[in-house]
């Protein structure tokens, strides 16, 4: 069985072909232009992951929200659960870029970190 | 609440009538169903002050057009409204149309229009270089001009309010009762008691008249669609360029606007829905094609927005400005289509005299006719800019990049008498959001300023009142 | 009157990179004018990741990418003024700008770097018929409402245009609980990056309708729906293909236009295709001492390229200020057939280094060859597995090639299959 995948690791968007055995084992990866592409393609066939960027509510800041991202990739199927947990969080201004806003989101072992500063009002 | 006179409808007609009435020692109310004045016909029309040669001699249209056009320059000066006496051309493309142009000249002379002249092909091309090679000649009317119709309306209301008129927005008249002495004008929640009612309700004038049992007014909304082009091609027309008129009106024109844009339109289609101001692909395509007959180089490339307006077309084919047959203290000012804007100043004076006669009103001594010129940063010299920012730093912050509109001007627009309450209201008063990006950058800033000034959350701010909200709830 | 060697108009990624490079090249007197409340430009609202892979080898969000440059600007003590709008550049490179604290600023610059970025094409430019109801907005405006202000601009959304901002906003709105009904694209291909189609649309099952457009907008106060239709090869709606979609919001992602009002007003020549200034390899315009870089010059798909281009402009402005520039002898560049444009539009053959030419194609190609010709003679041939309108390409003119060219020669780039 072959699977055609568009790599989303970087803006190149390589078209990768993965050959899988009947049991779902990866036999070969073709079409990638870098090692990251190969890793992505294998992951995409076995346990797809996505990074998540959104915002966290801020109290007392110059804005209502501060942008954040997952410090690593999250299981794709957990994205909406993670959104739900992140939307419940609330940070207190001032927030600094890099601050951990949600620890171990949805037990994924991944932290949600601020990607900008939000000074106090 | 007791009033002497109540005007229904804050379009250019109702607003100028209210302002005229504010000269008198009487209590005046101006009722508007929308969140702002100039929300109907007055905000979406050709913005032309016609010379007055179109209407049949002897009609009210002919009389008030010529009189109104004569009053317009001075009125605009007093109210600090931009007016440009650019003059107009009716272009003929055939020998037959040259005959029509000559007939228009004769009619104009009968109507008392000054300065009319026939231009031949060469003279026409000399004064209007981008005109089509096909043009044979034109009727030149030097008294025609261009004005900003909603700015005139806004200025009239502001000045009326300063002179004591009560301006009531979001008041949709649902019933008018007469007890033999006074009218009660109600929206179902609040009511105004008044001795005289002036029906200036635009496309709704038939329904307002029907509230007192007057079924004599038969109007139909006639839709006109327009395209507005970027200032970069504003110079393509030096004058208002008409084609020869037809049964449905004065046809498609190409004209500069007072702000330096180029306006193309209108189409003309009688419709049923009085709220249908949607533009249609068919009409927009057709007006461009027709306009290209006058100015062939036009393309859609420079179009920055399109819009449609409705005018109340009356089966009498003339304005109705008279006491209702049902009640002498109920004055219909109805069927005001083109040349309504041009006629407005004269209609206002005429109706004021009617009302003052009925009420035995006298003019008050402290009437202030002048509406202060709003700060227009973009038109200022650098020295003036320095001085005004020194006085108020808010004029140092540019909110609308395309049109160079400052925070100070937007705050002025919100704080003015009968000031802006929504994003479109700010736009009409200041031009913020009217440029080529159409509010892409400044829209959210305007929302913020409105929310702050009005003391509400930003998701309560609307585009033009009603349910036209811009934002829903907080994301989290 | 203030005096600076270099005035940079715009404190986004382009302006900051240009200023930093100029400083590195030995110019100390630099002033950045930024119209927003903070440095960073449009990156501040681009909270998704994907920035910096080329330049930093890391995947950063927009604010993170901007922050790295903001830190450097602070470290290098480069002066900047926020909430400051440049109003005019005179023939003698005097910049007029305005803000609340200084009032009207009059700044004599030796060199000016234009880095004002771009704006989104509005509804009016498309002439979409329909009502004027609330709820029609550009994707970038919606992005600001969601990511900075923290408000939902809509619940049921149709997006017109499959540019990157539109795709990114499709995902963003979905994550925040909105239903994105579809993305319509007038062209038979998307102008967005492939990876954005995959991770912003496919991941969430959002349909992308190619060769479709919005033909009508419904709703009196707020949008209640739109009518979409398929278009033929001339991009005209096909009668009978209309389809009504209920929604409260129409987001437009239909292209970006460089913001060149200041540029035009000073009389700088503009390239009709890029809508940006015509520049040489140091990004100097035909107005002496005025340089341009970033999205005000041509719309980039990656900020990393903006940074690199702006460093070139920064270096160019520094060389100009320091008097290192000799009288140029120019050749011109010209895109042929599928190559829509090339930046720079002219190259000084006396340049001491290699010169990179950036170009964009007008349609998609597979296994194509990029050919570069000098006065008709092929000098470079490069195989490319894939070329797409959404992805900027480049070729390098080596210095020994430049040396072999003669003044007024013409470089042409074309794509052959």
CA distance C22 to chain B (A): 27
How far is it, in rounded angstroms, from Cα A78 to Cα C321? 55
Cβ distance C146 to B458 less than 8 Å, yes or no, reads no
- The pLDDT score that the predictor gives to residue B286 is 93
> Per-residue pLDDT for C333 more than 90?
yes
The answer to whether position A120 is within a domain reads: no
Residue A9, domain extent: 2-46
Q: Looking at the structure, do residues A34 and A87 belong to the same domain, yes or no?
A: no
A65 and A28 together in one domain: no
CB C32 within 8 A of CB C6: no
Are C27 and C317 contacting, i.e. CB atoms less than 8 angstroms apart? yes
Residues of chain B scoring pLDDT < 70? none
**How crowded is residue B95: how many other Cβ atoms within 10 Å of its Cβ?**
9
pLDDT (tens digit, 9 = 90+) per residue, A37-77?
999 999 889 899 999 999 999 999 999 999 999 999 999 99
Same domain flag for A16 and A58: no
What pLDDT is attached to residue B287? Answer: 94
With respect to residue A24, please indicate whether it lies within any of the assigned structural domains.
yes
Claim to verify: residue A42 and residue A9 sit in the same structural domain: yes
**Mean of the per-residue pLDDT values of chain C:** 95
Q: What chain B residue is nearest to C145 in terms of C-alpha separation?
A: B444
Write out the two tokens for B235.
Answer: 């110079």
Distance CA C102, CA C25 (A): 29
Q: Would you state the structure tokens that stand for residue C190, as one six-digit string?
A: 């998307």
Q: What are phi and psi of A10, to 5 degrees?
A: -140, 170
Cβ of B475 and A55 within 8 Å?
A: yes
Q: Which helix (H) or strand (E) holds B3?
A: strand B2-8
In chain B, residues with a C-beta closer than 8 Å to the C-beta of C153 are 470-472
The answer on A82 and A33 residing in a single domain is no
- The model's pLDDT over B255-311, given as tens digits with 9 standing for 90+, comes to 999 999 999 999 999 999 999 999 999 999 999 999 999 999 998 888 888 999 999
**E strand or H helix at B196, and its extent?**
strand B191-199
A58 and A42 inside one domain: no
Question: Is there a single domain that holds both residue A40 and residue A66?
Answer: no
Tell whether B443 is within 8 A of chain C (Cβ): yes
Helix C13-24 with C62-75: angle, nearest 10 deg: 30
ipTM confidence score: 0.92
pLDDT 10s digits, C392-407: 899 999 999 999 999 9
Give the C-alpha separation, C67 to C59, whole Å. Answer: 14
CA distance, residue C336 to nearest chain B CA (Å): 24
In a domain, A106, yes or no: yes
Which of C149, C224, C239 should be substituted to probe chain B, the one whose Cβ sees the most B Cβ atoms within 10 Å?
Answer: C149
Does residue A119 lie within any of the structural domains?
no
* A65 contacts chain B (CB < 8 A): yes
The answer to whether residues B412 and B420 touch, using CB atoms and an 8 Å cutoff, is: no
In this structure, the answer to whether residues A77 and A101 fall within a common structural domain is yes
Count of domains forming chain A: 2
Dig out the tokens for C230 from the structure: 């398929």
Task: From chain C, pick out residues whose CB is under 8 angstroms from the CB of B470.
Answer: 134-135, 153
> What domains can you pick out in chain B, each with its CATH number?
83-144+220-310 (3.30.9.10), 377-460 (1.10.10.1100)
Whether residue A42 is found in the same domain as residue A64: no
Per-residue pLDDT of C91-105, as tens digits, reads: 999 999 999 999 999
Q: Is the pLDDT of residue A11 over 70?
A: no
The reply to whether A41 and A15 lie within a common domain is: yes
CB B212 within 8 A of CB B176: yes
Above 80 in pLDDT, residue C125?
no
Predicted confidence (pLDDT) at residue C326 exceeds the cutoff of 80: no
- DSSP reduced 3-state for B287: helix
**Non-local CB neighbours of B179 within 8 Å, separated by 6+ positions:** none
pLDDT tens across C49-61, in order?
A: 989 988 999 989 9
Yes or no, beta carbons of A67 and C193 under 8 Å apart: no
Are both A95 and A78 inside the same structural domain? yes
Closest in C49, C53, C176 to A69, CB measured? C49
Q: Is B50 a catalytic residue?
A: yes
pLDDT at position C210, please? 96
Residue linked to tokens 């979609």: C245
Asked if C151 lies within 8 A of B458 by C-beta distance, the reply is: yes
* Domains of chain C by start residue, with CATH: 1-120+256-325 (3.50.50.60), 122-254 (3.50.50.60), 328-417 (2.60.40)
Residues A80 and A107 in one domain: yes
Question: Is C107:C6 a contact under the CB 8 Å cutoff?
Answer: no
Answer yes or no: is A108 within a domain.
yes
Quick one: pLDDT at residue C100? Answer: 96
CATH number at residue A79: 3.10.530.10
Does B278 sit within 8 Å of C129, measured CB to CB? yes
Q: C173 or A6, which is more confident?
A: C173
Residues 255-284 of C with CB under 8 A from B: 259, 261
Query: b or e along C355-388 (b: 16 or more beta carbons within 10 Å of the residue's beta carbon)?
Result: bebbbbbeebbeebebbbbbeeeebbeeeeeebb
How far C145 CA sits from the closest chain B CA (Å)? Answer: 8
Look at C122 and B305 and tell me if their CB atoms are within 8 Å: yes
For an interface test with A, give the residue of C63, C168, C391 to mutate (most A CBs within 10 A): C63
Please write the tens of the pLDDT for every residue from B441-460.
Answer: 888 999 999 999 999 999 99
Spatial distance between the Cα atoms of A55 and A89, rounded to a whole number of angstroms: 10
d(CA C328, CA C347): 9
pLDDT tens sequence across C169-198: 999 999 999 999 999 999 998 888 888 899
Instruction: Report yes or no: C51 and C303 within 8 Å, Cβ to Cβ.
Output: yes
The set of chains that have 3 or more CB pairs under 8 A with C is A, B
Question: What kind and span of H or E run contains B68?
Answer: helix B60-78
- Whether C106 has a pLDDT exceeding 90, the answer reads yes
Q: DSSP secondary structure string, C241-290?
A: --EEEE-SEEEE---EEE--HHHHHTT--B-TTTSSB---TT-B-SSTTE
Q: What is the pLDDT of residues C107-120, one digit of tens each?
A: 999 999 999 999 99
Q: What are C250-263's pLDDT values in tens digits?
A: 999 998 999 999 99
**Is residue A91 a part of any domain in this protein?**
yes
């Amino acid at each position: 069985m072959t699977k055609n995948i568009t790599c989303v690791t970087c803006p190149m968007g390589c078209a990768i072909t993965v050959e899988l055995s009947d049991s779902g084992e990866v036999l070969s990866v073709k079409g990638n232009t870098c090692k990251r592409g190969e890793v992505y393609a294998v992951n995409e066939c076995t346990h797809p992951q996505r990074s998540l960027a959104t915002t966290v509510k801020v109290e007392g800041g110059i804005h209502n929200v501060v942008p954040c991202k997952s410090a690593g990739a999250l299981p794709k199927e957990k994205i909406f659960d993670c959104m739900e947990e992140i939307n419940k969080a609330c940070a207190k201004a001032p927030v600094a870029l890099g601050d951990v806003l949600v620890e171990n989101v949805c037990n994924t072992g991944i932290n949600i970190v601020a990607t900008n500063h939000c000074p106090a009002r | 609440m007791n009033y002497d006179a109540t005007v229904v409808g804050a379009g250019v007609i109702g607003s100028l009538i209210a302002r005229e009435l504010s000269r008198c020692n009487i209590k005046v109310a101006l009722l508007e169903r929308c969140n702002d004045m100039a929300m109907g016909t007055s905000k979406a029309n050709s913005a032309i002050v016609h010379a007055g040669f179109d209407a049949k001699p002897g009609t009210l249209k002919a009389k008030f057009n010529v009189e109104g056009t004569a009053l317009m320059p001075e009125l605009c000066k007093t109210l600090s409204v931009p007016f440009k006496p650019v003059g107009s051309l009716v272009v003929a493309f055939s020998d037959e149309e040259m005959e029509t142009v000559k007939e228009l000249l004769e009619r104009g002379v009968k109507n008392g229009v000054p300065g009319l002249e026939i231009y031949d092909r060469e003279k026409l091309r000399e004064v209007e270089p981008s005109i089509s090679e096909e043009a044979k000649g034109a009727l030149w009317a030097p008294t025609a001009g261009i004005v900003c119709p909603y700015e005139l309306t806004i200025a009239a209301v502001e000045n009326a309010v300063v002179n004591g008129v009560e301006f009531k927005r979001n008041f949709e008249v649902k019933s008018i009762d007469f007890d033999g002495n006074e009218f009660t004008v109600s929206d179902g929640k609040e009511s105004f008691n008044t001795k005289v009612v002036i029906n200036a309700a635009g496309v709704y004038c038939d329904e307002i008249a029907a509230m007192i049992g007057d079924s004599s007014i038969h109007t139909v909304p006639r839709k006109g669609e327009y395209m507005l082009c970027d200032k970069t091609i504003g110079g393509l027309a030096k004058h208002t360029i008409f084609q020869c008129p037809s049964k449905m009106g004065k046809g498609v024109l190409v004209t500069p606007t007072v702000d330096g844009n180029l306006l193309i339109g209108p189409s003309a289609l009688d419709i049923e829905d009085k709220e249908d101001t949607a533009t249609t692909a068919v009409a927009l395509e057709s007006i461009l094609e027709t306009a290209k007959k006058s100015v062939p180089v036009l393309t859609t490339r420079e179009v920055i927005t399109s819009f449609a307006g409705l005018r109340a077309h009356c089966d009498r084919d003339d304005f109705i400005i008279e006491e209702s047959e049902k009640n002498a203290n109920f004055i219909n000012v109805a069927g005001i289509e083109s040349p309504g804007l041009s006629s407005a100043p004269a209609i206002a004076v005429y109706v004021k005299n009617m009302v003052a006669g009925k009420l035995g009103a006298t003019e008050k001594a402290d009437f202030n006719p002048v509406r202060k010129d709003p700060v227009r940063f973009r038109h200022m010299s650098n020295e003036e800019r320095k001085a005004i920012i020194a006085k108020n730093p808010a004029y140092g912050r540019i909110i609308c990049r395309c049109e160079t509109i400052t925070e100070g001007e937007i705050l002025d627009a919100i704080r003015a008498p009968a000031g802006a309450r929504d994003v479109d209201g700010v736009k009409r008063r200041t031009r913020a959001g009217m440029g080529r990006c159409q509010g892409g950058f400044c829209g959210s800033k305007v929302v913020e300023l409105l929310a702050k000034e009005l003391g509400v959350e930003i998701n309560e701010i609307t585009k033009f009142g009603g349910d036209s909200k811009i934002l829903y709830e907080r994301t989290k | 009157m203030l005096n600076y060697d270099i005035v940079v108009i715009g404190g986004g990624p382009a302006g900051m990179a240009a200023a930093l490079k100029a400083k590195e090249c030995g110019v100390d007197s630099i002033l950045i004018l930024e119209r927003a409340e903070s440095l960073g430009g449009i990156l501040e609202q681009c909270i998704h990741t994907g920035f910096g892979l080329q330049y930093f080898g890391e995947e950063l969000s927009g604010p993170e990418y901007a922050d790295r440059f903001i830190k450097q600007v602070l470290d290098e003590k480069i002066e900047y003024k926020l909430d400051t709008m440049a109003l005019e550049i005179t023939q003698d490179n005097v910049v007029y700008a305005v803000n609340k604290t200084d009032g009207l600023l009059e700044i004599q610059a030796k060199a000016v770097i234009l880095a004002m970025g771009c704006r989104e094409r509005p509804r009016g430019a498309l002439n979409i018929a329909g009502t004027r109801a609330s709820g029609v907005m550009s994707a970038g405006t919606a992005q600001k409402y969601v990511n900075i202000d923290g408000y939902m601009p809509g619940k049921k959304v149709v997006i017109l245009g499959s540019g990157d901002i539109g795709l990114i906003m499709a995902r963003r709105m979905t994550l925040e609980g909105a239903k994105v009904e579809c993305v319509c694209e007038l062209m038979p291909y998307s102008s967005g990056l492939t990876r954005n189609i995959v991770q912003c649309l496919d991941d969430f099952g959002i349909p992308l309708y190619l060769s479709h457009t919005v033909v009508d907008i419904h709703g009196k106060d707020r949008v209640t729906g739109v009518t979409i239709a398929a278009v033929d090869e001339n991009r005209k709606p096909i009668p009978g293909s209309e389809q009504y979609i209920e929604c409260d919001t129409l987001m437009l992602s239909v292209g970006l236009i460089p913001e060149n009002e200041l540029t035009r007003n000073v009389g700088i020549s503009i390239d009709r295709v890029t809508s940006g200034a015509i520049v040489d390899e140091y990004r100097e315009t035909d107005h002496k001492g005025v340089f341009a870089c970033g999205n005000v010059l041509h719309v980039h798909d990656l900020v990393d390229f903006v940074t690199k281009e702006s460093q070139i402009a920064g270096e160019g402005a520094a060389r100009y200020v320091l008097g290192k520039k000799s009288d140029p002898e120019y050749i011109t560049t010209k895109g042929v057939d599928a190559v829509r444009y090339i930046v720079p539009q002219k190259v000084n053959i006396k340049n001491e280094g290699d010169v990179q030419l950036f170009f964009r194609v007008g349609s998609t190609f597979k296994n194509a060859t990029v050919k570069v010709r000098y006065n008709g003679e092929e000098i470079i041939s490069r195989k490319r597995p894939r070329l797409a309108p959404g992805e900027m390409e480049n070729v390098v003119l080596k210095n020994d090639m430049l040396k072999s060219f003669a003044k007024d020669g013409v470089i042409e780039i074309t794509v052959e299959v």
